Structure 1
C-alpha cells in the first residue's frame, strides 16, 4: 500500500521520514482560503480534509495524508503577509499561552480517518529587539502564528503542554498509530 503525503511543507516531509513507512510527496493545491470557519479545530480539519481529498482523487488506491496547523490566540493567526503583521502576532503571543491545533486526515479507499492534536504553547515575555531580530531572519513568514518552534522561534517558548511535533506540523506518534491500523 502506497502512502502519499499531500503537502508541500518541508517540515512535514522531514517528520514523515521519522516514521517507519515509505511514502511519496504529492503536494495538494487545495485553496485554504476557501475555509472561513473561525473555530480552529473545525477549520484545521476542513483544510486537512480538503488537501487529502484532492490528492486521493488522483491516487484512490493509496493512503493519502492531509494535514494542517493553526495557531490560535483570541483568533486564528495565519501566516503573516508582512513584517508588521509578524510583529503584531509575536507581540500578541508575548508572555501568553496560545493553542496550536494540527488536524490530520487519512483517506484510504474512500474511507476517511481524522484526528486533531491540541498543544498549548507559552511564550516568554519578548522584547521589541527579540521580535525585530527574529523578523529579520525571515523565518516567521511561512509559518502560522509567525514562528517556527523547530527554528528560531524555539527561543521564545517557555513551555509546551502536548505534542511538540504537532506544533512543528505533524503529530508523529498519533499518526504512527493510525497508519499501523491502515497498513
Structure 2
C-alpha cells in the first residue's frame, strides 16, 4: 500500500508552516481528542500516546497518510501545557526564567492498520526574565496557544539563551525525524521541489 496523500492531523499554525516551507503537499484535518494527562505518566510516553490518539481520530482512505504530533514542556518533572489564563502564563514564564527545561514532541504516522510513533526532546535554556519582560512578552500575544506559554520562532526567541537539539521540535514538529518516518511509509516527498527559492 503506497500513500499518495498526506493529512496533517493538527490545527497548529507552526506545524503547518514547517511542512509548507518544505513544499510538501498536504491537507489539514484538526483532531478532536481529550488531551488528558495521567498521574505519574512520563512526558515522553504522554506525548506519544496523545499523538497516537490524534492520528487514530482522523478518518482517512487507504491511501491517506495521517501525521499527528503533541508537544509538552517539562520542568522539574512538571508538565506545562498551554496556559489557561494570564495568571498561569505568567507563572509558567517565571518558573522557566533563568532555567533549562525540556520540550518533548511525540509524533505518530498512521496508514491503514499500521502506526508508528516516536518522541524527540530538545533542551531549552532561558535567560533571566524580569517582570517587565514577562509583561511585555505576554502583551505580544504569543503565549495562549503554546505549550509553556512561549514560541521560539517569534518574539519568544528573545527569551532564550540557547537550545540543545532540534529547533523545529520546539516549534512542535521535529522535521528531520518526521521526514524519515514518512519515507519509511513510502511517502517520497523529495520528488517534489519546493515552490520557494532558497
- What TM-score, normalized by structure 1, do the two folds share? 0.94
What's 1:31 paired with? 34
Contiguous gaps of at least 5 residues in structure 1: none
Alpha-carbon distance in structure 1 between the residues aligned to 2:97 and 2:172: 21
Deviation string, structure 1 residues 100-128 (Cα, Å, up to 9, x no partner): 00110001121011111100000001111
Deviation string, structure 1 residues 107-153 (Cα, Å, up to 9, x no partner): 11210111111000000011110001111122111100010001111
Contact residue 68 and residue 103 of structure 1 kept, 8 A: yes
Alpha-carbon distance in structure 2 between the residues aligned to 1:10 and 1:166: 14
Quick check: 1:172 aligned with 2:154? Answer: no
Alpha-carbon distance in structure 1 between the residues aligned to 2:136 and 2:98: 18
Alpha-carbon distance in structure 1 between the residues aligned to 2:172 and 2:65: 19
Alignment of 1:1-183 (within 5 A): 1-33=4-36, 35-37=37-39, 38-55=41-58, 57-74=59-76, 75-183=78-186
Instruction: Report the 3-state secondary structure (helix = DSSP H, G, I; strand = E; otherwise coil) of the residue aligned with 1:92.
Output: helix
Residue 30 (structure 1) shift: 1.3
Instruction: Report the 3-state secondary structure (helix = DSSP H, G, I; strand = E; otherwise coil) of the residue aligned with 2:121.
Output: strand
What's 2:193 paired with? none
Q: Runs in 1 of length 4+ with deviation above 4 angstroms?
A: none
Greater per-residue helix proportion: 1
Contact residue 97 and residue 126 of structure 2 kept, 8 A: yes
- What TM-score, normalized by structure 2, do the two folds share? 0.87
Alpha-carbon distance in structure 2 between the residues aligned to 1:166 and 1:23: 19
Q: Aligned residue pairs: how many?
A: 181
Instruction: Report the 3-state secondary structure (helix = DSSP H, G, I; strand = E; otherwise coil) of the residue aligned with 1:141.
Output: coil
Contact residue 122 and residue 164 of structure 2 kept, 8 A: yes
Alpha-carbon distance in structure 1 between the residues aligned to 2:136 and 2:23: 38
Contiguous gaps of at least 5 residues in structure 2: 187-198
Alpha-carbon distance in structure 1 between the residues aligned to 2:139 and 2:84: 14
Alpha-carbon distance in structure 2 between the residues aligned to 1:112 and 1:139: 33
